[in-house]
Chains A and B, each alone.
Chain A
């Protein structure tokens, strides 16, 4: 990288710094989705978050939902939020606002049943969001560096080239970011099955190694319970079509995204890392749920590699898409930010790693990713228990 890793961001009350300054309009329960969508139609500048959660589940899942939704509101890229609830749900606007009280972030609530229906609720939420957007405009920018960043790592729609090009190049960028004092999150526990050997060698301490081993073994046991013999290839059909044969093969390619830094900590889904450097988060391999866990933990950006191609983005968090092969880059140019397929044509992994770091800096300075331009922002939370 040719220049210093410095950007002008927005410092939040908790000391963390955002690379975006968004006003969220968030449904606390699926039933409020229509109102959230209506507010977004009227005010496209807000980041609207709809999802299928907020009620109808057992305690552990609801706990995860509350933690993840609250974490997303607390993400440093979010400057303020309007929470839209229905009125009879478990994860109510009041409950969620209560968990956010100490964050110091401006949060307003609208309850559809109290507002007198969806149109009036949308009117209220729109007025609140307009005021919050104006307030956010006034916020001064402050200097941020790589040490202020937490970057999530993700691979989705992997192919056999992912582990040869895009993932190791992201690993180089991750190494550089860690050198500069930043934090990177390696997630997707499913894609660590069969790769414990090299992962455990990277663990900073025996305690970290033991926790990592327990998480991966638990995920493998779950896969076996649910899938039986198919657990050895717990992948999407497209992974197999592209030439990946076993989950171990996919995993060994996946973990190269973490680079060569020591693993300092293993955190649960959605939990904020307590350490800087390379951190592992226990998430499913399913992209959308994995992204939600990392965003809730405070990731301000995501480096996302893909071999088959995916348009996925995330609310309030820029997702930088890196293709593993140039055919994909040419086939889906509107969805991919950077092509690591150039490595197959002779570019070095380090060179492409530097390109990724440069792009990350530009995104931290405000350049929009393809997923942001396309308005791609899906949200789902990892669940454990049955639906009631």
Chain B
């Protein structure tokens, strides 16, 4: 099953999924590119579009919304367990 995700800016390394995603679902962006979900992601949450190393910036709207607090793989669910805003 393919689920739509929305990326706002070309620099973004996360996108928001428009519906609930199950592990192994294909998540498709509006430009046609795809990433395979490695776990379940609730509707409205963020999926990593590529690998994001611990400490690296997580980008949405073309801006930094925080830093990865652990290594994140492509297709992973991104939320409070692996993303925080630090000073």
Contact = CB atoms under 8 A, between A and B. Distances in A.
Interface of A: 159-161, 163-164, 194-195, 197-198, 232-233, 240, 242-243, 245-249, 252-253, 307, 325, 344
Interface in B1-35: 4, 6, 8, 16, 18
Contacts of B66: 232, 245-246, 248-249
A335 B83 CA distance: 33
In this complex, the interface size class of chain B, counting residues with CB under 8 Å from chain A, is: 20 to 34
B76 to A, nearest CB: 13
B18 to A, nearest CB: 6
B39 interface: no
Interface string B31-73: 0000000000011111000000000000011011110000000
Contact of B80 (A163, A233, A247, A344): A233
Given A232-B66, A242-B44, 4 more contacts: A163-B8, A243-B42, A243-B46, A245-B65
Contact of A245 (B4, B18, B42, B79): B79
Nearest to A249: B65
B18 A248 contact: no
A232 B84 contact: yes
17 contacts: A160-B46, A161-B44, A195-B63, A198-B61, A198-B63, A232-B66, A232-B86, A243-B43, A243-B79, A245-B46, A245-B66, A248-B63, A248-B64, A249-B66, A252-B61, A252-B63, A253-B61
A196 to B, nearest CB: 10
A contacts with B: majority SS = loop
Contacts of B6: 164, 344
B65 A160 contact: no
A253 B66 CA distance: 14
B60 A252 contact: yes
A253 B12 CA distance: 14
Nearest to A159: B44
Nearest to A220: B87
A240 to B, nearest CB: 7
Contact of B44 (A160, A232, A233): A160
Query: Which of A160, A232, A242, A325 gathers most chain B CB within 10 Å?
Result: A160
Contact of B84 (A246, A252, A307): A246
Contacts of A195: 63
A163 B65 contact: no
A95 to B, nearest CB: 44
A194 B58 CA distance: 13
A240 B84 CA distance: 12
A3 B68 CA distance: 49
A195 B60 CA distance: 11
A171 to B, nearest CB: 12
A243 B84 CA distance: 13
B63 A246 contact: no
Nearest to B43: A243
Contact of B16 (A164, A198, A232, A233): A164
A265 to B, nearest CB: 24
Contacts of B85: 194, 232-233, 246-248
B84 A249 contact: no
A195 B66 CA distance: 12
B47 to A, nearest CB: 10
A253 B60 CA distance: 9
Nearest to A196: B63
Nearest to B8: A164
Nearest to B42: A243
Contacts of A232: 66, 84-86
Nearest to A162: B44
B83 A160 contact: no
Nearest to A164: B6
Given A163-B61, A164-B16, A246 B45 contact: no
